[in-house]
Amino acid sequence: MRVGDFKESYAADEAVFRTSTARFWLGVFLVALAVFPFVAGDYLLYMANLTGVAIVAAVGLNILTGAAGQISLGHAAFVGIGAYTSAILVTRLGLPFLLCLPLSGLAAAFFGVIVGAPSMRMKGLYLCIATLAAQVIFEFIFVHWVPVTGGIRGINVPAATVFGLQLDTEFKFYFVTIPIVILVVTAARNLFRTRVGRAFIAIRDRDISAELMGINLFQYKLYAFATSSFFAGVAGCLNVFLLKVVTPEHFPLHESVRYLAMIIVGGLGSVLGSIFGAIFMTMVPEALQSLLNLFQGLDPAVMEYLFPLQTVIFGLLIVVFLVFEPQGLAEIWRRVKDYFRLWPFEH
């Protein structure tokens, strides 16, 4: 227990950031986020925006898979539904970006509930296969329903406009991405402070005893699917306006697997873990790429073998993580915090 950590009310004891130290560092972090775009170049801002989108989607998947224990291999498809909904709403109806955002979420949540319906009868790997079917079906629709989705050529989208301001640069878009990420992360964290989030974890840990505690399993599984795909839809909307185009190539099966990898590497069931995982899975491949670029001058024959190495190293890194820290980056973070709590005294 932390020395001198006494609370006088239950509200103070239930706060997310319980100590003044934690609140101080949160403040520092938020200031850093606000200053970042003024010092970073376009490429870094682009990466930050991409990471933001990934965080929103990963937080969603972590609610469904990490917390409620329903493995989904179709998360990219829900991101896709959000993306196509936005693209269609903005090009056909000219709806503003801020309206597209919740509508994309709702559209994805609607299909999420439909895909989640089999969870009444299926668990574990069987449900996983059902969500895989959803992934394949939606991908098929994206490619082949040409009049609506534009087929493999997709839909081009104009830059988003917020209060008359065109978000046509990475710099401007950053100021939309970050607030939305903060909103989504806060909402997810809130969820786990109430009976709904507790019910999700109960279903994951022991569904039979959850039911005997008065939790309607089917209802709460559908809640998990709806929330998860709502966030996926929001991520999809951000994705479209960030890339200004949507094509089926953005939402293949391996993208779903990438989201799963994010929450596993980050930490299953942890909101903070989703953030770490999304950052890791977006930034590390890029970092490896630039590292390998240092060897550019070598013999082309060597380069031929060196480039695929990026994928191999990345895969290895993930395996190493899972072996040495199966609880993910969130657990490493917790240990580092624990260490500095009493630093420089060891015990």
Tell me which DSSP letter residue 270 carries. Answer: -
Distances (CA, A) of 245 to 48, 52, 61, 127, 240: 18, 18, 24, 32, 6
212 is a site residue for another protein (CB under 8 A) = yes
211 is a site residue for another protein (CB under 8 A) = yes
3-state secondary structure of 175: helix
Place of tokens 């960030």: 242
Residue 65 CB coordination number (10 Å): 25
Using the contact rule CB under 8 A, the part of the chain among 114-122, 143-151, 200-208, 297-305 near another protein is 200-208
Contact 196, 223 (CB under 8 A): yes
Supply the minimum distance, in Å, between the C-beta of residue 33 and another protein: 22
Distances (CA, A) of 56 to 121, 219, 305, 338: 29, 24, 35, 27
242 is a site residue for another protein (CB under 8 A) = no
Supply the minimum distance, in Å, between the C-beta of residue 274 and another protein: 15
C-alpha to C-alpha distance for 35 and 217, rounded to whole angstroms: 45
Residue 23 CA from chain centroid, whole number: 24
Supply the minimum distance, in Å, between the C-beta of residue 9 and another protein: 9
Q: Give the total of residues touching another protein (CB under 8 A).
A: 34
160 vs 181, which CB is nearer to another protein?
Answer: 181
3 is a site residue for another protein (CB under 8 A) = no
13 is a site residue for another protein (CB under 8 A) = yes
Find, among 62, 42, 92, the residue nearest to 330 by Cα: 62
**What is the x/- site pattern for another protein, positions 126-145, by CB under 8 A?**
--------------------
Residue 215 CB coordination number (10 Å): 19
210 is a site residue for another protein (CB under 8 A) = yes
Contacts with 160 (C-beta within 8 Å, 6 or more apart), sequence order: 90, 97, 166, 167, 173, 176, 241
Supply the minimum distance, in Å, between the C-beta of residue 149 and another protein: 30
5 vs 168, which CB is nearer to another protein?
Answer: 5
58 is a site residue for another protein (CB under 8 A) = no
Identify the helix (H) or strand (E) that includes residue 159: none
194 vs 290, which CB is nearer to another protein?
Answer: 194
Q: Which of 173, 223, 259, 280 is close enough to bind another protein by CB under 8 A?
A: 223
Using the contact rule CB under 8 A, the part of the chain among 144-152, 190-198, 234-242, 247-255 near another protein is 190-198
14 is a site residue for another protein (CB under 8 A) = yes
Residue numbers at the binding site for another protein (CB under 8 A):
10-11, 13-14, 187-188, 190-191, 193-199, 201-202, 204-206, 208-217, 223, 226-227, 269
